Amino acid sequence: MEDIYIVGVGMTPFGRHTDKSIKQLTAWAVEDALSDAGCDRKSVQAAFFGNCTQGHFDGQHMIRGQVALLPLGFDSIPIFNLEGACASSSHAFNLAVTQLRAGAADVVLAVGAEKMFYNDKAKMFSAFESAWDIETFEDNKNYLSQMGKNVEVPPGSQSAKPYSPFMDVYAALGRGGLMERFGITQRQLAAVASKNHGHSVHNERAQYRNAMTIEEVLAAPPITYPITLPMCSPISDGAAAAIVCTGAALKKHGFDRSRAVRVLASVVRSASARAADEFNKGCTHLAGKAAFEQAGISPQEVDVAEIHDATAIGELLSMEALGLCEPGTSGVMAERGETSLGGKLPVNPSGGLESKGHPIGATGIGQIFELVEQLRGNCGPRQVEGARIALQGNGGGLWRIEESTEHVGIFARA
């Protein structure tokens, strides 16, 4: 199989960019990626563009990638539009890698961009309502409500303010998949959030950069039990981009091999038909298993991970599904500091979605940006010492009781 490399990455700060359009955010990330790679835009032979909500908010459908990229000088090349909920830019990255492996190009751009913060809160949160099968919404809601039904929900643990409907999904999965099944506690979930907020202090691109103790996380306003506000990702704007090339193109285009990061695996899987208690047959588990097989390594060889923590519950569920810990131990690992910087397996040194931010169409490549910088040794106070193997896990949408889609990427220092 052809060796594939990431030679350039770019990422805007994630947050509220009320003065920037989605075109401007895209241009910011793309220009930074080109500069980072030392790549002329005319060398790029195809582009893959991930975005979810621009149609919902702005009415721009059908040709979002062309609208964003043609003004940047990427004329005449194939531009593909990808939409896969929170995994949209991971889909863009995966298809960029596939394009290279197929021999259809030797230098490709993958980019994700999203502008989600709007003053109309009802419209803003409604953007999430089509990330599952809208025809079976009530059936899904009723099914999820039965998960973790034996877990006592304290009074006053439900927010009266609007929030993303996916928080109810995560809460149900957390009560059923973690608390009822393994005895994972709300305090352990708070440890995840505290860890991620602490990591983000050192990330200049993070939306939030304030450390929080476990007690502060637990005392924060409730969203829906067991989730409190700091345990869930914010509404964000932002963009991220990657320049990807073949091994032969490294020399051909004069890219710096010492800064290149090798793609050991890039795998996408869709939701499985598993039963609620068949945790080892789910989408994330299947994507992870295939990725480790493709990379030829085991989960124990991973030095650093960026995984999908739209809530603290999501981080623990992903760790379990990806085989990064023994079943039922993810909460204990977080509470012991084993997933913190300096721990056994640092997870989300960027601050994760909870603190770095979550502009859903840009999130996947945002994770890849962090891992490329980690493998280059460029992360300063949040650097994972000696990192050589990195894993990215990014899910999107919901199908019954799991993600509709999951991308797992594995990367190595070249």
Residue 336's CB is within 10 A of a number of other CB atoms, namely 14
| Region label for 244, one of left (φ > 0), alpha (ψ between -120 and 50) or beta (otherwise) | beta
Question: Are the C-beta atoms of 406 and 87 separated by less than 8 Å?
Answer: yes
Catalytic, 86? Answer yes
Q: Residues with Cβ < 8 Å from 24, sequence gap 6 or more? A: none
Query: How would you classify the pairing of strands 389-396 and 405-413?
Result: antiparallel
SS3 assignment, position 142: helix
Parallel, antiparallel or unpaired: strands 237-246 and 4-11: antiparallel
Q: CB–CB of 179/150 below 8 Å?
A: no
Per DSSP, helices labelled H in 116-201 are 121-126, 137-145, 166-174, 180-182, 186-200
305: left (phi over 0), alpha (psi -120 to 50) or beta: beta
Contact 107, 249 (CB under 8 A): yes
Buried (b) or exposed (e) across 385-409, using 16+ Cβ within 10 A? eebebbbbbbbbbbbbbbbbbbbbb
Query: What one-letter code names the amino acid at 66?
Result: Q
| Cα–Cα distance measured from residue 373 to residue 343, given in angstroms and rounded to the nearest whole number | 19
Give the active site residue among 91, 253, 285, 358.
Answer: 358
Is the separation of the CB atoms in 217 and 231 below 8 Å? yes
Polymer length in residues for the chain:
414
Facing residues of 84 across strands?
Answer: 86
Q: 10 Å Cβ neighbour count for 279?
A: 17
Crossing angle for the helix pair 363-376 and 88-101, nearest 10 degrees?
60
Of 86, 232, 245, 325, catalytic: 86
How far is Cα 29 from Cα 27, in angstroms, rounded to an integer? 6
Sign of CA dihedral 368, 372, 375, 379: negative
Contact 97, 4 (CB under 8 A): yes
Catalytically annotated residues: 86, 358
